[in-house]
Chains A and B, each alone.
Chain A
Amino acid sequence: SQKIEQNSEALNIQEGKTATLTCNYTNYSPAYLQWYRQDPGRGPVFLLLIRENEKEKRKERLKVTFDTTLKQSLFHITASQPADSATYLCALGPQGGGATNKLIFGTGTLLAVQP
């Protein structure tokens, strides 16, 4: 069955450093991958989308890579700030194939940026 793995342990880094979060998947060939941020008590908020024919996407301090051979996506936050502390979810789609927008979500990685 389809499976997504994200760092299960919290990632603690120092302010100003680059945070790198990993998303690995198996038994699946997604057409696209999305990253979301989730704060406690809130729903996830969309950050970035990358398609299967794209290697890298950037948005301000965020960068996402997508390696369909390794079945892996890396999510980078450069010059990290305490305000970046949150849980980050990766999501692959479409679930079940076809032209739908159903996403499979990973369990998320908790990022803590220390001042």
Chain B
Amino acid sequence: GAGVSQSPSNKVTEKGKDVELRCDPISGHTALYWYRQSLGQGLEFLIYFQGNSAPDKSGLPSDRFSAERTGGSVSTLTIQRTQQEDSAVYLCASSLVLGFDEKLFFGSGTQLSVL
């Protein structure tokens, strides 16, 4: 596809369940980011992957959150034992890293609702 693809677009789960969110970045983009957007809030950085380097996990809010990127392409964000405060839109973005100020291309996000 031409853009960043995220699935599912909507996810409703019960408190305590685990969820997996998927991101398929633009082909050839070496950098991949996960952000979280809560209602009325700015985008909150979660994690950053760049090539084969160790990911920057400094934004993950707790050890219930983890992410991996397989083969330098598809990424999965996993939230274990979901809590109601995890409800938000989870956005994935990718970019080239020719310089260090490259623009980000975002997917449409996954709306997560924890009941």
Tell me the A residues contacting B by CB distance below 8 Å.
4, 31-32, 34, 36, 41-46, 49, 51, 89, 91, 93-96, 99-108
Extra inter-chain contacts (19) besides given A34-B101, A89-B43, CB under 8 Å: A4-B42, A31-B100, A43-B106, A93-B100, A93-B101, A95-B45, A99-B100, A100-B56, A100-B100, A101-B31, A101-B33, A101-B50, A101-B101, A104-B42, A105-B35, A106-B42, A107-B41, A107-B42, A108-B42
CB-based contact A100/B48 at 8 Å: yes
Provide 19 A-B residue pairs closer than 8 Å at the C-beta atoms, listed in order of the A residue: A34-B101, A34-B104, A41-B108, A42-B109, A43-B93, A43-B106, A43-B107, A43-B109, A44-B91, A91-B43, A99-B100, A100-B56, A101-B33, A101-B48, A101-B50, A102-B48, A103-B104, A104-B42, A108-B42
Tell me the B residues contacting A by CB distance below 8 Å.
4, 31, 33, 35, 40-43, 45, 48, 50, 56, 58, 91, 93, 95, 97, 100-109
Residues on B with C-beta less than 8 A from A93 are 100-101
- Contact partner of A96 (CB less than 8 A), chosen from B35, B58, B103, is B58
Residues on A with C-beta less than 8 A from B102 are 101
Which of B31, B35, B43, B102 counts the most chain A CB atoms within 10 A?
Answer: B43
Chain B's closest residue to A6 (CB) is B42
Q: Give, as a whole number of angstroms, the nearest-CB distance from A6 to chain B.
A: 8
Compute the total of residue contacts between A and B using a CB distance below 8 Å. 70
Q: Give, as a whole number of angstroms, the nearest-CB distance from A4 to chain B.
A: 7
Residues on B with C-beta less than 8 A from A105 are 35, 42-43
In angstroms, Cα B97 to Cα A101, docked, is 8
CB-based contact B100/A101 at 8 Å: yes
In angstroms, Cα B109 to Cα A105, docked, is 16
CB-based contact A51/B42 at 8 Å: no
In angstroms, Cα B41 to Cα A108, docked, is 8
In angstroms, Cα B43 to Cα A57, docked, is 24
Chain A's closest residue to B107 (CB) is A43
- Contact partner of A101 (CB less than 8 A), chosen from B4, B95, B109, is B95
Residues on B with C-beta less than 8 A from A94 are 100-101
CB-based contact A102/B56 at 8 Å: yes
Q: Give, as a whole number of angstroms, the nearest-CB distance from A107 to chain B.
A: 4
